[in-house]
Amino acid sequence: MNHITNIQLFALIVIFEVGSTTLFALGIGAKQNAWVVVLCAYLCSLLLIWAYTQIPKYYPHKNFAFILDDTLGKALAKPLLLLFGLYFLNQTMHNFYEFGALINMTALPHTPLSFILYVFIIVIIYILILGIEVLTRSIEIVFPFFILVLIAIYFLNLLTGEFEWNNLQPILGNGITPVLKEVPNVLSFPFGEMIVFLTFWHFVKDPNSIRRTTYIAVSFSTLLLLTSLLVILAVLGPKLASHTEIPLLETLLSIHIGMIFTNLDSIGVFIMFIGGFFKTAIHFYGFCLAITWLLNKQKPNWIIVVAGLLLPVLSLMRFESLNDQRWKGIDEGIYNILIYSLIPVFLVILIAVKNWAKRKEK
């Protein structure tokens, strides 16, 4: 079996959490207090992550399908596994179309979107067919560059005269209510999306380190998200940040330091590509694994190829435009993510009760 090391798991989670999220102004409904929303959502997410990482403690090196079968029985496990697979496919289509459209809009405006999507998916198919180790090693290689680029962006924004601390004030000027209204949205995206890692835990070499590594990775991701959000708010202001399609890209365009650091929008495109590519790959692999287990197959390769080649068509049929994709993501996605995120909590409770009953019988 392929195994994931702790360092690879850390990089996998950080890229997944940060990859796309830094592009957007999370919790912007709370205006200048959006960063408080992210902090509150992070604290709430610690409970969800505890539940996600408790499952592999009960079933080390066992895949998600086996866990569902053993806990719920095949009659319930099969339909639930199918629902999880469809949910992962839905998330794949959202990420896939969104980043294809963003690349089309910013870097390749004269290239057909369908062509971009097919190039995108062919590379993903190739990597996933080679296995989970190739995916994690690829992330491990690009991870340092990805983080260094993000840190450089934050640092350069601090040096530019556009950075205004006044844009971050007043803190909680309208009370705590606007913050609390936004917390469920940020809890579901990006923290609730961590549910896809239930299909990856059995690959981890040391199951006992999963919780510690995950907590460290999510905490580091939150630090990057908070920094990104503070930069976006301070440079653009809450009003402009809420109306800008890609706030991080807008902050890059505002960087003009001498004649050296200017026109850095290509860096934003690099972040979009890396984040979109790997987030799509992770969700898509989660879907392929779920369907593989559902059909009692040993390897997901043929599912990866067939579903991958259909993915651009399905995405273009599902979304008419980037605005349509965003609207569907907000209108439908939040509740779906919250529901699917809470299912593992009930699963952990059920496993704990069953284990307690077995110990009592003995």
Domains of the chain, each with CATH number or no CATH = 6-361 (1.20.1740.10)
* pLDDT over 80 (residue 264): no
**Residue 331's pLDDT band (cuts 50, 70, 90):** low
Query: What is the predicted pLDDT for the residue at 346?
Result: 92
**Averaged pLDDT, 123-135:** 96
Q: How far apart are CA 285 and CA 48, in angstroms?
A: 22
Q: How far apart are CA 233 and CA 210, in angstroms?
A: 34
4: three-class secondary structure by DSSP: strand
**Averaged pLDDT, 87-101:** 93
**Averaged pLDDT, 21-34:** 86
Q: How many helices (H) and strands (E) are present in the chain, helices listed first?
A: 14, 0
CB 300 within 8 A of CB 289: yes
CB 135 within 8 A of CB 127: yes
**Residue 118's pLDDT band (cuts 50, 70, 90):** very high
**Residue 334's pLDDT band (cuts 50, 70, 90):** low
Query: What is the predicted pLDDT for the residue at 86?
Result: 94
pTM for the full model?
A: 0.94
CB 96 within 8 A of CB 117: yes
- How is residue 261 written in tokens? 């650091």
**Averaged pLDDT, 287-292:** 98
Q: What is 290-323 written as a DSSP string?
A: HHHHHTT-S--HHHHHHHHHHHHHHHHHH-SSHH
**Averaged pLDDT, 72-85:** 94
* pLDDT over 60 (residue 1): no
Least confident of 20-24, 73-77, 280-284: 20-24
* pLDDT over 60 (residue 58): yes
Mean pLDDT score of the chain:
90
Structure-token match 């972040």, residue found = 271
Q: Which residues pair with 204 in a beta bridge?
A: 4
Least confident of 125-134, 265-274, 278-287: 265-274
Q: Which residues pair with 4 in a beta bridge?
A: 204
